[in-house]
Amino acid sequence: MDETHRGSSCNLVNRDILGVMELSCIIREVLGDRRLQDVWVKGEVTNHHNHRSGHRYFTLTEQRTGKTYAVDCVLWRSDAEHLDFPLDNGMGVIAFGSVDHFPPQGRTQFYVRELRKAGEGEKHLIVERWRRELAEEGLFSHERKRPLPEYPCIVGVVTSPTGAVVQDIRNVIGRRFPVELLISPTRVQGEGAHLEIARAIARIDGKVDVLIVARGGGSFEDLFPFNHPEVVRAIAGCGVPVVSAIGHEVDVTLSDLAADVRAPTPSAAAELVVKDRRVLKSGLLELRRQMATSLDHRLYRGREELEGLKVHLHPNRGRRRIGEKRQELDQLSERLERAIRNRVEQSRSLTRELHANLRSLDPHAPLARGYALIRKGGRTVRSINEIMESDIVELNLHDGEARAMIEEVKYEEKL
């Protein structure tokens, strides 16, 4: 035996010898480093096995510098049940979990608690990071939420001009309480859409009494622009109250968190910003009924009191008292009659005010004053952007119609 070998044997005898269990415990303790706990790891799924127990076993691999790196992974059944996509070999994923050592088999594994597809998962992480940053800026604070105006005159809408959202909002407002709508058009999905949405909000800010930011339903990818900080800050910095109606009720974007009020749908947003004129009219009628009932009760109590005086008082004094009470009753009746006339007149004035507003909102009313209503293809033209040179349009006047051809179109600054 050479000297080196003999030296190693002597050292082995003199040193403490670890048991396998002790070595496993040391490994497990070292693996407790915080850099290996609660981390996200990106890789490709290989060797996927769905055990009959419901647990998932697979390997995350990565090709780099001509070499393959691999980590064994476990996803317990309780966590696997929350997967919303099938897990297959070759799939790119990002996994959230911690590294640990399994002493009985001497295996070091990555214990996964959450899995997401690589592309979509990364965007989810971006949105979560944005949410934390914007929350720290106070943009989601309830203290900065503003109430909606009771009776807005102009309602703004930021959305796609070609979708059904605009028509839905227009129909609801027209049915409930017609007011002026001002549309600030924008793309609502795709590359760079978040910049267009933010600009559309800035363009219309200050020109309306309340603003609806809306789009129809869609996937997480479709709604992604409404999670962008540019849009969130534009909503939070808007000078008028903002109602968000983005996606379906189950979809929640960062824009929803920044808006003053969130609506589940664009139609619901329209119902929130204007009151129902039928309900208002019904309220006025109920108020009139309550006033009339109150006056009747007061007169009835006065008569009862007068009759009581007739019975219980001395005849002479009673006559005097009766005379006094009759005068008081006459005065009370006069005051009550004046009060009810005033209340009724107030109700009539308010009704006339409402009728005047409705008449002023009638799109045909200005025709009698020399204005014309322009239609193209059966639809009302509301913007110079809707007509082109050589277009044939219909002109509706108060006493007839005419057809005309557009010779020239001059564009001014677009909202």
Lowest mean pLDDT of 67-71, 226-230, 346-350, 362-366, name the range.
Answer: 362-366
Instruction: Note the pLDDT of residue 316.
Output: 66
- Token pair listed for 138: 């106070």
- Token pair listed for 98: 């911690």
CA distances from 19 to 24, 32, 48, 107 (A): 9, 20, 33, 16
Q: Does the pLDDT at position 4 exceed 60?
A: no
Distance, CA of 135 to CA of 129 (rounded, Å)? 10
Q: Does the pLDDT at position 413 exceed 80?
A: no
**Interval 351-361 mean pLDDT:** 74
Instruction: Note the pLDDT of residue 314.
Output: 61
Q: Which residue has the higher pLDDT, 130 or 330?
A: 130
- Token pair listed for 295: 């006056």
**Interval 151-175 mean pLDDT:** 93
**Interval 260-274 mean pLDDT:** 95
234-262, pLDDT tens digit by residue? 999 999 999 999 988 788 899 999 999 99
Alpha-carbon torsion, ordered 231, 239, 267, 280, to 10 deg:
170
**Interval 10-18 mean pLDDT:** 58
Instruction: Note the pLDDT of residue 10.
Output: 43
197-206, pLDDT tens digit by residue? 999 999 999 9
166-198, pLDDT tens digit by residue? 999 999 999 998 899 999 999 999 889 999 999
In the predicted model, what is the mean pLDDT of the chain?
85
Distance, CA of 412 to CA of 196 (rounded, Å)? 19
The vertex-335 CA angle with 334 and 340, nearest 5°, equals: 100
In the chain, what percentage of residues exceed pLDDT 70? 90
What is the pTM (predicted TM-score) of this model?
0.49
